[in-house]
């Protein structure tokens, strides 16, 4: 806790002072350009990885970067997606998985999560990725996990498209969907190219996009790389 307090004091002395005018502007309004859905993993910091300033990106973080399919009892993720798209008018939504993901590791290894009932129930939202991954052959456990992380990003993009606010914005040509996988060790990002269903290097293909409008470039459950 002392580290958190020390960090806040440092922010007040330096970070805040360097952005005083920005924070005064943000005190009463926000206009983020993107919604970024990432894992809660402490090693993944969306604003750091994308170099975004306060106010530039709306963020959802949870175990496994999961987006439950829209249902009769929408939860916090659904409400946040709806607000970002329907109220804030974000133009891009990114679902970002990452290497060495604990949630995906638990699924890939078939770990018994009976002592973590909330986690167990939550990870059922990744059942589609689990089923696809189980039907494939992998030479190593690392290869299996790597594929599952990608399959999960594809599965969550599919779930995302069941949300009315997303479907409407796509049909109006106002929204783009992106699927990314961030490698913690190398700092690289692979992005889903919807036209091929393959993940490609975002550095080499900065325009890679999973879905650009309703029915166009729908993500396919392919975990391979270009």
133 in any annotated domain: yes
pLDDT in tens, 143-184: 999 999 999 999 999 999 999 999 999 999 999 999 999 999
**pLDDT score recorded for residue 212:** 86
pLDDT above 80 for 60: yes
pLDDT above 60 for 222: no
pLDDT in tens, 111-124: 999 999 999 999 99
Q: Which long-range contacts (CB under 8 A, 24 or more apart) does 134-142 make?
A: 136/223, 141/108, 141/109
Of 12, 24, 28, 43, which residue is the catalytic one?
43
**pLDDT score recorded for residue 77:** 96
Task: State yes or no: 101 annotated in a binding site.
Answer: yes
Max CA distance (Å), the chain: 55
- CATH number, domain at 50? 3.40.1050.10
pLDDT in tens, 122-149: 999 999 999 999 998 899 999 999 999 9
Of 96, 101, 125, 178, which residue is the catalytic one?
101
From residue 88, alpha-carbon distances to 35, 211, 213, 216 in Å are 10, 20, 19, 24
pLDDT above 90 for 219: no
Query: Is 178 an active-site residue?
Result: no
Query: Is 139 an active-site residue?
Result: no
Q: What is the rounded distance in angstroms from the CA atom of residue 157 to the CA atom of residue 93?
A: 10
Picking from 92, 59, 97, 56, the residue whose alpha carbon sits closest to that of residue 170 is: 92
pLDDT above 90 for 223: no
Q: Taking a C-beta distance cutoff of 8 angstroms, is the pair 47, 19 a contact?
A: no
Task: State yes or no: 120 annotated in a binding site.
Answer: no
Range of the domain at 42: 31-201
45 in any annotated domain: yes
Identify the three-state secondary structure at position 222: coil
Of 28, 61, 92, 98, which residue is the catalytic one?
98
Phi first, then psi: give them for residue 112, nearest 5 degrees.
-80, 115
Q: Taking a C-beta distance cutoff of 8 angstroms, is the pair 186, 203 a contact?
A: no
224 in any annotated domain: no
Of 3, 12, 41, 127, which residue is the catalytic one?
41
**pLDDT score recorded for residue 220:** 58
Give the pLDDT mean for 201-225: 76
What domain count does the chain have? 1
The structure's pTM equals: 0.92
20 in any annotated domain: no
Query: Is 39 an active-site residue?
Result: yes
Residue ranges in the chain assigned as alpha helix (H): 2-10, 16-18, 20-26, 46-50, 76-82, 102-108, 117-123, 127-134, 141-160, 164-171
8 in any annotated domain: no
Q: What share of the chain is helix, strand, coil (3-state, %, to 5)?
A: 40, 15, 40
- Indicate the average pLDDT of the chain: 93
Task: State yes or no: 39 annotated in a binding site.
Answer: yes
Q: Which residue has the tokens 């973080």?
A: 61
207 in any annotated domain: no
Query: Is 43 an active-site residue?
Result: yes
18 in any annotated domain: no
Task: State yes or no: 209 annotated in a binding site.
Answer: no
How many CA atoms within 13 Å lie on the side-chain side of 85? 29
Of 12, 24, 39, 225, which residue is the catalytic one?
39
154 in any annotated domain: yes
């Amino acid at each position: 806790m002392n580290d958190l307090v020390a960090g806040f004091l440092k922010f007040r002395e330096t970070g805040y002072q360097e952005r005083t005018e920005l924070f005064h502007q943000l005190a009463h309004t926000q206009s983020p350009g993107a919604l970024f859905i990432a894992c809660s993993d402490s090693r993944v910091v969306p604003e750091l990885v994308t170099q975004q300033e306060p106010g530039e990106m709306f963020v959802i973080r949870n175990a496994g970067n999961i987006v439950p399919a829209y249902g009769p009892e929408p939860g916090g993720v659904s409400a946040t997606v709806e607000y970002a798209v329907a109220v804030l008018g974000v133009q891009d939504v990114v679902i970002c998985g990452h290497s060495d993901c604990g949630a995906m590791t638990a699924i890939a290894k078939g770990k018994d999560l009976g002592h973590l009932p909330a986690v167990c129930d939550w990870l059922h939202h990744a059942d589609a990725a689990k089923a696809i991954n189980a039907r494939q052959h992998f030479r190593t456990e690392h290869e299996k996990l790597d594929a599952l992380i990608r399959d999960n990003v594809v599965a969550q993009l599919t779930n995302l498209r069941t949300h009315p606010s997303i479907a409407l914005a796509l049909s109006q040509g106002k929204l783009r969907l992106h699927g990314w996988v961030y490698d913690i060790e190398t700092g690289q990002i692979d992005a889903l190219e919807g036209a091929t269903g393959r993940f490609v290097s975002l550095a080499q293909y900065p325009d890679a996009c999973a879905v650009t409008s309703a029915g166009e470039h729908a993500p396919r459950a392919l975990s391979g790389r270009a």
